[in-house]
Amino acid sequence: MNSAFFEELKARGLVYQVTDEEALQKQLNESSVKLYIGFDPTADSLHIGHLLPILMLRRFQRNGHVPIALVGGGTGMIGDPSFKDAERSLNTLDTVKAWSESIIAQLARFIDFDDTHNPAILANNYDWLGKLSLIDFLRDVGKNFTINYMMSKESVKRRIETGISYTEFAYQLLQAYDFLKLYETHGCLLQLGGSDQWGNITSGIELLRREQEVQGFGLTMPLITKADGTKFGKTEGNAVWLDADKTSPYEFYQFWINTDDRDVVKFLKYFTFLSLEEITAIETEFQAAPEKRVAQKALAQAVTTLVHGQAAYEQAVKISQALFNGEIQSLSAAEIQQGFKDVPTYEVSATEDHKLVELLVAAKIEPSKRQAREDIQNGAIYVNGQRIQDLTAEITAAEKIEDRFTVIRRGKKKYFLLKH
């Protein structure tokens, strides 16, 4: 085992809390340790808020340990109250099963379940929670915890004032039971999670101690915060998903390339497998000339390639450069769809007047023909990146990219998409 591994995790800022650090380090140095992180299926895709824990499993696997990816097919039907202001809505079994399948497919892109030396393990807690009777649960799990102990957890204390249902109150016991079952079936000794999971993790360690007289370990990662105070993992108010159909590779790349200067080195340590020496070199170059954005480019390249592959990264760069340089005509229809996914769109009918002035008004790009003519004359209208100042201009076949799209720009930044 790599004795410097744990020290590197700390140097990257990935260790927030740990139970019995000295004993855990000794365990990691001496043998291959089985560890797990749980992923509750609360949607049909994971998002970048899950990326740090996923990459932690990958880091451990690359250093000879055995990661267990636990899909919460059972706990996902309950809802974790940790640091949530309100009760989660409950989903049906069929919905949770479908979401679980999607999440399993995504996890397999990051963690190697076929490795010949230390293959990762996939588990779903519905396999045991779905069979557990209430009486067995109360006798075998509930008897180990006092109400005082459960109420002392920060995740519960935060909700006592506003109200917490027994369903969510019992969540920490279900998660503790997961740890016990993974120890019994796989010999799992370490649970990882975000800092909001500390209370649930320590409950699992307590259950292991009481039921099996075994020392389990817990390690949490820091809550990711952005220097500007906005929530990490959101752009334009929407979640950044790992599913390319929900967040396109171009949008994903843009999220990372727009990282605040104050956050970018921290994110390079969190989200990439670049060595600390490589990151230090990037940081030095970045500090000498921040306007060149070498750190953001390195971050966007590493994470986009990791999540979506080299081809998708190259396509995202191509779209970005084409939009920056106004070279819209160099893009394919598929690239236009990615680059202009969220801009106002107008569907042009086959019988519609294709004169530019008429279309600007019909598509609500301009409020009136008078304003449309004025903007055209003043050079404020661009068709596929080309300035048009001819009042008689029409949208012909030449302006239709693959006979499907025309991109209109008004002023410096306002884009519109015409679909043919």
- Within a domain: residue 303? yes
* Whether residue 239 is found in the same domain as residue 215: no
- Within a domain: residue 133? yes
Q: Is 234 exposed, middle or buried (0-12, 13-18, 19+ CB in 10 A)?
A: middle
The confidence score (pLDDT) of residue 79 equals 64
Q: Which residue among 266, 292, 324 closes a domain?
A: 324
Active-site residue list: 42, 47, 50, 84, 88, 175, 196, 231, 234-235
* Whether residue 264 is found in the same domain as residue 163: no
Q: Which two tokens stand for residue 306?
A: 């990791």
* Whether residue 241 is found in the same domain as residue 174: no
Pairwise CA distance, residues 356 & 279, whole Å: 50
Task: Assign residue 414 the CATH number of its domain.
Answer: 3.10.290.10
Q: Which residue among 291, 324, 357 closes a domain?
A: 324
Task: Assign residue 265 the CATH number of its domain.
Answer: 1.10.240.10
* Whether residue 412 is found in the same domain as residue 368: yes
pLDDT exceeds 60 at position 221: yes
* Whether residue 215 is found in the same domain as residue 241: no
pLDDT exceeds 90 at position 356: yes
Side chain identity at residue 410, one-letter code: R
CA distances (Å), 383 to each of 35, 122, 319, 390, 393, in order? 55, 51, 16, 12, 10
E strand or H helix that includes residue 361: helix 356-362
* Whether residue 97 is found in the same domain as residue 192: yes
pLDDT digits (tens, 9 = 90+) for 281-314: 999 999 999 999 999 999 999 999 999 999 999 9
Closest by CA position to 226, among listed 257, 267, 175, 185: 267
Q: Say how many domains are in the chain.
A: 3
* Whether residue 63 is found in the same domain as residue 175: yes
Q: Which residue among 221, 252, 277 closes a domain?
A: 221
Host domain of residue 263: 234-324
* Whether residue 314 is found in the same domain as residue 353: no
pLDDT digits (tens, 9 = 90+) for 169-208: 888 899 999 999 999 999 999 999 998 899 899 999 999 9
* Whether residue 304 is found in the same domain as residue 199: no
pLDDT band at 87; cut points 50, 70, 90: low
Specify the residue for token string 């109400």. Answer: 147
* Whether residue 390 is found in the same domain as residue 364: yes
